[in-house]
Each structure stands twice: as C-alpha cells, then as structure tokens.
Amino acid sequence: MTFKELKNFISQIPKSYDDYEMVNGEVGYLDPTDEDSIVYRVDKPIIMLYVDEATKELCFFHQTREEIGPMFNQSENNGDTETT
C-alpha cells in the first residue's frame, strides 16, 4: 500500500470512528496445518512511525525506539525520521 492509498483510505473512514484506537493486528491458526484449529488474534497499539527515506517506506511500529534500537541500529544522519 502506498502512502497515497493510505491517505485515500483514511479519508473515507466515517467521523464516528475518530475515537477508535489504531492497532497492528495479526490473525492465524494455532496449528497452521489444521484449518479446524483455533483462530487467534493479536492486536498491538501503533506507537511509533518511522520514515525510511532510502527505501521510501513508512513503518508503523508497536515497539518504542529504545526497544528496536539495538536491532535497527540506524545512523542518526541517514535522512530517516521517526514520530512517537
């Protein structure tokens, strides 16, 4: 999904949803080999937006910068920005 597509999608969301929380969701089967297995859903709040200028990607994270810092290890001067 491009940012333009996301903005278009968001512009169509009714105002009655304004107080809804944004989460990053995931669904799946407890046993992926069995379609009759229990279905799970995991929702995590979006708490950080990271803009990767090099790849032209917007990343929504449920982790803080401190949590992902050791894994991310990005230079401070690479043109990337973040919002918490």
What tens digit of pLDDT does each residue of 56-71 get?
A: 999 899 988 888 877 7
What tens digit of pLDDT does each residue of 28-45 get?
A: 999 999 989 999 999 999
For residue 42, what are its two tokens?
């995991």
pTM of the model: 0.60
For residue 77, what are its two tokens?
């001067």
Could you tell me if 51 and 82 are in contact, meaning their C-beta atoms sit under 8 angstroms apart? yes
| Separation of alpha carbons 13 and 70, rounded Å | 36
